[in-house]
Amino acid sequence: MSSRVWTLFLAAVLAASLPVLARADEDILGNVPVPGDPQTPPDLVQITRADFGACATNRNFDELQGGGTICNGTHITNQYPGVTFSVPGGNCVICANNVLGGIIIHNSDPNVAFVQQNTNVCSANVPNAVATFSPPVLQVGFDYFTSSASNCTLRIYNAANQLLETLTLVGIPDGGFGLYGFIGLRAAGSIIARIEMQSRPTSDPNNFFNFSMDDFIYQVSDCATPTSAVSWGFLKSVYETD
């Protein structure tokens, strides 16, 4: 047997003895992501507002009684079915604010949701505002408005309280006040049970800044595909008699 044939023979034997390669959706350890399984969290992807379907729910907070920065407007907690807002760890709150809503340009008037995180408006710096979903959702996002030289962070958790993804963005000038942008993430299934939201100054990552959000949008699942319209000509052909 020639050396070339012998080499090819050994290569074939070796290949046959190796384990089957992982599927395309497996990780390097061969784990297949299973929605809702905390051991194999699916990758989340960044999305824009255009990625939400007609079945998404948008909360613009405009029907609430707005107030000033000191949060004498309606405190936003459990007014909306399917989502609850809170700021754990102190006396900071989220409130409807029509003063900032009148200054900020890229929002839906009259209100924004003003998120307290800093000692200039509440007793202690708190790290996160929270939105909890029931049932869990497929994707979520919101317009954010921060101070200049500040960022916005979105963290995604499943029902097992496992952190699935963190996304931090810095906005662009709003033209009215500070920076603005849209931040959003989508999971591989309807497993987003809770999110954390925060803003930090880019020069001091250990500090927290107040920020605002608006047009908070979430979607429980993919929207159903519309049924195709039945033409009038087709109906006539079915019911037409001689």
- The pair of structure tokens assigned to 62 is 């405009």
Q: What residue ranges define each of the domains in the chain, with the CATH number in brackets? A: 45-219 (2.60.120)
The helix (H) or strand (E) run that includes residue 131 is strand 129-137
CB–CB of 175/124 below 8 Å?
A: no
CA distance 218 to 133: 9
Q: Report the pLDDT averaged over residues 111-130.
A: 83
Distances 229 to 23, 55, 149, 233, 237 between C-alpha atoms, Å: 39, 19, 51, 11, 15
Helix (H) or strand (E) holding 5: helix 3-17
Q: List the Cα angle 44/22/189 in 5-degree steps.
A: 25
172 membership: H or E segment, kind and range: strand 172-173
pTM: 0.75
Place of tokens 């707005």: 66
Q: Which residues have CB under 8 Å from 59's CB, separation 6+?
A: 80, 83, 215, 216, 217
Per-residue pLDDT tens digits for 73-115: 999 999 999 999 999 887 889 999 999 998 999 999 999 999 9
Residue 226 has pLDDT above 70, yes or no: no
